[in-house]
Amino acid sequence: MENTAGIRTAGVLTSGGDCPGLNAVIRAITKNLMTHGVEVFGIMEGFRGLIENRYVLLDDKQTSGLLTVGGTNLRTSRDKPHKMPAPDGGTRDMSGAAIETYRRLKLDCLICLGGGGTQKNAYRLMKEGGLNVITAPKTIDNDVSGTDTCFGFDTGMTIATEAIDRLHTTASSHHRVMMVETMGHNSGWLALGAGVAGGADVVLIPEIPYYIDRVAESLLSRMRHGKMFSIVVVAEGARSVEDEPDLDGDSDDGRKRKRKDKDHVDSKQPVSVSLAAHLEAVTGLETRITSLGHLQRGGVPTARDRLLCTQFGVKAAEMALQGAFGNMVGKRGEDFVPVPLEEVVKQKRLVPPDHPWLIAAREVGTCMGDEVPLAYRA
């Protein structure tokens, strides 16, 4: 790959929630750009570091051994340049300071690794300050549009699947209902992927509002069919049909949370707590919950994620060398392609009703909360 854009310096930052694989992408970008004589600055703590002029020069020493290390050595934050916390408790627009650092460092391009919020922040800086941004889709939620998959997702899904495997044995020993709550924000990729891979009996995802009585009937019916335990996987954003009209957040009920247009739900109360209590009351079946939380974002990336991250990083570097700014690296089939940020920021990528994983789940009798599977109808 030729440095046709003639870039000499590039910045890289990680923003939003962390996930395994971020370091692997930083490593791939740096190694690749360095071989083309490009100086790479690691901006600390996401956009906050850009605003506060905090960075390190990345070299061979810093990137060696990074492939397998979880988290992000550049650290991260959920800060948005246009909405930084102000001393009076409100927010203030600090985009100007971020743009200034970019100019002071004489960056020819800024590579931002992050989820949906990061894509939007990078896009804003490009529009407002003319920054040459390139992004790559990171998130265990797998909900960034314009790409078949995001890095970090495979690791999160693998961790959740392993947890479900372990819960199967104890569920069986005690004849209990075991409820596992996954992350995923407002998308069901994690719950669905891990639920199908772990052989869950019920999977509840935000894209399919559930009927509590249908879930209860599935569980009771399994018992009647001699299946003495059940595994229920619930995504943190799952909601019942009754909750559906309250999406605007008008209700006082704590479970009915405002979800529209938020990049990040700051909910500390697992949805499984009230759902398990409700189900236990309706079915009389002893129910236990496990909320996987940040375990899904910890530790080493899977082999698949390491491969993906290396490819995402190499493609991001290649796009920088070619001057393909204003784009996110998207994975389409086996290819890695530039996808205009303008398109990426328009919507989230949710589980479509005809997704093969969903169809397969239904075909093996998994209750998705909207109907009692055929095998368990009385």
Contacts of 39 (CB under 8 A, 6+ apart): 8, 9, 10, 57
Q: At closest approach, how far in Å is the CB of 204 from ligand F6P?
A: 15
Closest to ligand F6P by CB, 150 vs 177, is 150
CB of 17 to ligand F6P, least distance (A): 4
What's the closest the beta carbon of residue 345 comes to ligand F6P, in angstroms? 16
Q: How far is the CB of 6 from ligand F6P (least distance, A)?
A: 36
CA distance 258 to 248: 6
Would residue 148 show up in a list of annotated catalytic residues for this protein?
no
Q: Nearer to ligand F6P by C-beta: 101 or 135?
A: 135
- C-alpha dist (Å) from residue 203 to 183, 237, 370: 13, 12, 10
> Can you give the binding site for ligand F6P, defined by CB under 6 A?
17, 115, 139-141, 183-185, 236, 264-265, 297
Asked whether the beta carbons of 235 and 184 are under 8 A apart, the reply is: yes
The contacts of residue 13 (CB under 8 Å, 6+ apart) are: 42, 43, 44, 46, 47, 49, 50, 74, 110, 111, 112, 113
Q: Report d(CA 327, CA 316) in Å as an integer.
A: 9
In the complex, minimum distance from the CB of residue 326 to ligand F6P, in angstroms, rounded to a whole number: 24
Amino acid identity, residue 229? F
Compare residues 108 and 143 and give the one whose CB is closer to ligand F6P.
143
The closest residue (CB) to ligand F6P is 183
As measured in angstroms, the least distance from the Cβ of 18 to ligand F6P is 8
- C-beta of 159: minimal distance to ligand F6P in Å? 12
Of 217 and 236, CB closest to ligand F6P = 236
Catalytic residue, from 141, 154, 201, 263: name it.
141
Nearer to ligand F6P (CB atom), residue 222 or residue 297: 297
Minimum CB distance to ligand F6P smaller for 262 or for 355:
262
Say if residues 131 and 105 touch (Cβ distance below 8 Å): no
Q: Would you say 270 and 234 are in contact if contact means Cβ atoms under 8 Å apart?
A: no
Output 79 or 318, the one with its CB closest to ligand F6P. 79
So which residues are the catalytic ones? Answer: 141
